[in-house]
Amino acid sequence: MTLKLQPSRCLVFHGSELVAAPDSGDFLDGVQTDAVLEAFPPAEAEYFEVPLIDRSALVPCFYLKKKAVLPRFWRSVSARTLAANGTAGPDGYCGALPSVMAEVFRIFHIAQWLSESGFCGRCGERNTINTPSAERHCPACGRVEYPRVSPAVIVRVTNDDGRILLAHDSKFTENIYSLIAGFYEAGERLEDTVEREVFEEVGLKIKNIRYLASQSWPFPNSLMIGFAADCAGGEIRCDGVEIEDAQWFSRDSLPRLPGYGSIARFIIERWREGKD
């Protein structure tokens, strides 16, 4: 399944939310381009055409500024909420995401970056866009910019009792428990990042690190790289800054988990089903 917009329709993003107009059916149906132009002044709505990965099409979209206010009867939904409709397994899925949502994530990621990279980071001149490649070119100094991607690891740690380590992050708005995750530091191997993040956040040593899966997660610009590891020793000691609580859980006593569209849920479900 791929994204297919009718002629003269476009995707509209407001922050990390997807926008629909009163005449929109599904959020993925898009909005009439003329309706966007009538509803928002040019200073509040930037227009871009984002190429799909295979360059088979350019997807028209608007990226609304924070100050933009949706007209009456317009509505929006978090892209994360739409992604939560993903499941773990069927063909045509990218990691845990339906392929159409993987495309939407790409479009959002690129549109967000284009909005934030209007001026050259070296000389300050206004950048141009090389649409087929989604690049920014500076006409003054020649600098080329590419969409920002920040690698981050996420790891499933299990112990000798067959339990999984799940943690509650201070950034979570609800009582959700997930896997340990963190951003890659320059100069590390990914395995180093996995070891460091687990030790820093919960005080455990790990071993037998192995790759599982990856997923684009453009909130704002991450590439999530999933691993599994075995606990090699230590007692859980939460850092108290990012991680407020962490515990070992069995397959039949799991807490509230992240949505199905996330790689965290994908990895957890694979473990619960005994597939990895």
Q: What are the Cα distances from residue 151, in Å, to 179, 217, 274?
A: 16, 10, 27
Q: Which residues contact 166 (CB under 8 A, 6 or more apart)?
A: 177, 178, 179, 246, 247, 249, 254, 255, 257, 268
Phi-psi region of 233 (alpha: psi -120 to 50; beta: other; left: phi over 0): left
CATH number of 150-272: 3.90.79.10
pLDDT score of 210: 97
Q: Which residues contact 187 (CB under 8 A, 6 or more apart)?
A: none
> Using one digit for the tens of pLDDT, what is the confidence trace for 196-223?
999 999 999 999 999 999 999 998 899 9
- Which one has a higher pLDDT value, 189 or 92? 189
pTM: 0.89
Structure tokens at 150: 């920040």
pLDDT score of 1: 60
57-71, 95-109, 115-129, 216-230 — which is least confidently predicted?
A: 95-109
Topology match between the domains 9-115 and 150-272: yes
- Assign domain 9-115 one CATH number from 3.30.70, 3.90.79, 3.30.450, 2.60.420: 3.90.79
Q: Which of 166, 155, 171 is closest to 219 using CA atoms?
A: 171
Q: Are strands 150-158 and 222-233 parallel, antiparallel or unpaired?
A: parallel
Distance CA 77, CA 67 (A): 17
137 φ, ψ (degrees, to nearest 5): -120, 135
> Using one digit for the tens of pLDDT, what is the confidence trace for 50-81?
998 888 889 999 999 999 999 999 999 998 88
pLDDT score of 148: 95
H or E element in which residue 266 lies: helix 263-272
H or E element in which residue 248 lies: strand 243-249
pLDDT score of 91: 35
Domain extent listing, the chain: 9-115, 117-145, 150-272
Radius of gyration from C-alpha coordinates of the chain: 21
pLDDT score of 254: 97
* Mean pLDDT to the nearest integer, 130-153: 94
